[in-house]
Amino acid sequence: MNWFTILLFSALVPGYFSVQKQSLDGVWTLNESNGAYVNLVASVPGGIYTDLMRNNIIDDPTLEDNDQKYKWVGRKNWTYAKHFAVDKDILEYSNLNIVFEGLDTISTIFLNGKQIGSSSNMFVRYIFNIKDVLKEGDNYLEVKFVSPVITAERFASIQNQSYSVPPECPDSVYRGECHINELRKMQASFSWDWGPTLASVGIWKHVFLEGFNSSVIRYCVVETEEISSTSSWQVSIVTFLSGNVKNSVDGKLVLKLKTDNEDTVTLIVDVNAQPDGNNNIEVRQNVQIRQGSVKRWWPNGYGEQPLYDITVTFYSENELDTFSHRIGYRTIELVQEEVKISQANYGNSFYFKVNGIPIFAKGSNAIPINILPEKGQEKESVDKLLQSARDCHMNMLRVWGGGVYESDYYYQRADEFGIMIWQDFMFACALYPSRQDFLDNVIQEVRHQVKRIGSHPSVVMWAGNNENEAAIHGNWYGSNGKQIYFDDYKKLYFGTIKPEFQKILKRGQYIGSSPSNGVESEAEGGISNNPYDEHYGDVHTYIYELDGFNPNIYPIPRFSSEYGFQSYPSFSTFLKASKNKSNLVIGSEFLQHRQHHPFGDAQLELEVLYQMELPDEKSPNYTDVFIFYTQIYQAVSIKTQTERYRKH
């Protein structure tokens, strides 16, 4: 059997046994619902494109024009299945669950032919009670996914009976799929201006069985606050317990916090509580830690990043469950104060203080590490990204709202490297429904993700979305100032996400959108009259029509959270995407296919001609020169813009 247990305290406390878990990761079977592909070998965690590649059904979808060639994949229904065995003793537990850490996205789950649950959100952990279905010996598990593309179309059709929620489809140059805003999945999987259309499907995170009698620890949320009057840190710890049985839960919660010199602060809490309607229990506790017994956590370039173990163990009915985490002692403040200079109404500041020290944020926006979500979880890729950020003296990454909430490992490494994380919620460049079923789905997403990653010292900031305040104000998608869209916006980001966020993180920093005017946007009702006002909040700046070498074209914002210029990649990089050198000519069908930015090539040519003279288009070296010049223009323009921001 592939049972594994958490044994940290069981050896020290006779008579207690750990919560039992059995991994269901590994080899599964994959079938297309109409029988076109059957009995394929699949891997969990994984995804449909990697599994089809493994079975030689498709080539790498990121090569050539394969993203278009393989659009059929996202329009099919797929079933993942697995036989697994359990022993009789597991059936004796009062609580038997199957836990899916990530399902992408719309699925129905069957165990031994009986439906046990369904999924509708890529960003939620699903836990299903299987006490009455699991049996001794062989069991058969099926996860039946339906096409995200067809489902999005169906949801939009239902929504349109009331009113449409734009944009219905992306710009045609994206070559994407429609209605991604109807689904709670990676928004970029239906295409973006920087990437392909790969409508992912699959069990993209771990899956396991769990057996216990009383309760298990689902989350542990930790926040630190400096108490200057007592020269101490107050550590606020909220432990979230969960079980299927609605009876009162009795037990002891043991909290152990490591300090310097391997000292341990231990606190024992008696638990006697009735679960809520969802069979959950919250246990809140504050612990005082002397300031001299721990060191402060600092962003990269400002100091070290000491991390300290915290272990929470729940003992009840001769069993235990343990949750371990590493925390950093730091304070964080997003400073938005009135700027008082010589003139009135000069706006607000917008910068971060860590441990009371103003921080000059230096960083980048982080889109998904890989367009295939399961591959973005690979530790080697995470290490490469975060190590590179640290090595080039960055201290912040913005996890962009069109991708995914990153893996636990991602945030752990950010803690270790001193890389502050500006965390978007996963909404981007669209309006979204306000149907109650959609909002209820979002609530579960917010609760799970904030509890999962909110304790990391690296996570210093949360934003409700990417560019949606600017989009609705600027009529990007034809909303035409209709009040219903303004109401929907406020309902989602300020009536749903913000209050759920604040219930969990008492000291968390939240703004409705990026860019926004921060507290000024909220004072104006959540949508500013000018979300790009450089005197407030953060801005996104892309200027393709003017000379990027001229520093005076750029604003002087309070905080620049996005800016940049396009360029072509090097010829050698293109050769990784196409072995046909005839494709690698400026203006070729291949390069046009991979250029998803509207008017991208025309803008590149205009920019280059501001500073450089191109050879004749018929010249044999035209493509090489054009590529090289776009890279020069990009490098110098970003340097110029960055230096302007550093100067001011």
Compute the distance between CA of residue 220 and CA of residue 323 in angstroms, rounded to an integer.
Answer: 7
State which amino acid sits at residue 245.
V
CA angle 37, 38, 44 (to 5 degrees): 100
Catalytic residue among 101, 182, 467, 607: 467
Tokens representing 191 are: 């295409």
Please say whether the beta carbons of 112 and 85 come within 8 A: no
Compute the distance between CA of residue 630 and CA of residue 619 in angstroms, rounded to an integer.
Answer: 17
Tokens representing 179 are: 């209605």
Residue with tokens 């790009």: 532
DSSP SS3 for 353: strand
Compute the distance between CA of residue 378 and CA of residue 195 in angstroms, rounded to an integer.
Answer: 19
Query: Is residue 467 annotated as a catalytic residue, yes or no?
Result: yes
Q: How far is CA 452 from CA 8, 112, 325, 625, in A?
A: 21, 31, 11, 48
Query: Is residue 177 annotated as a catalytic residue, yes or no?
Result: no
Cβ count within 10 A of residue 499: 11
Compute the distance between CA of residue 248 and CA of residue 234 in angstroms, rounded to an integer.
Answer: 30
Reference 520, options 506, 505, 532; nearest CA is 532
**Residues 6 or more apart from 571 whose CB is under 8 A from it?**
584, 623, 624, 627
Helix axes 379-391, 408-417, angle to 10 degrees: 20
Cβ count within 10 A of residue 339: 15
Main-chain phi, psi angles of 332, to 5 degrees = -135, 135
| Biggest CA-to-CA distance, the chain | 83
Catalytic residue among 168, 333, 562, 605: 562
**Span between the terminal Cα atoms of the chain, in Å:** 63
* Strands 40-44 and 26-32, sheet pairing: antiparallel
Please say whether the beta carbons of 453 and 416 come within 8 A: no
**Residues 6 or more apart from 356 whose CB is under 8 A from it?**
331, 333
Which residues are known to be catalytic?
A: 467, 562
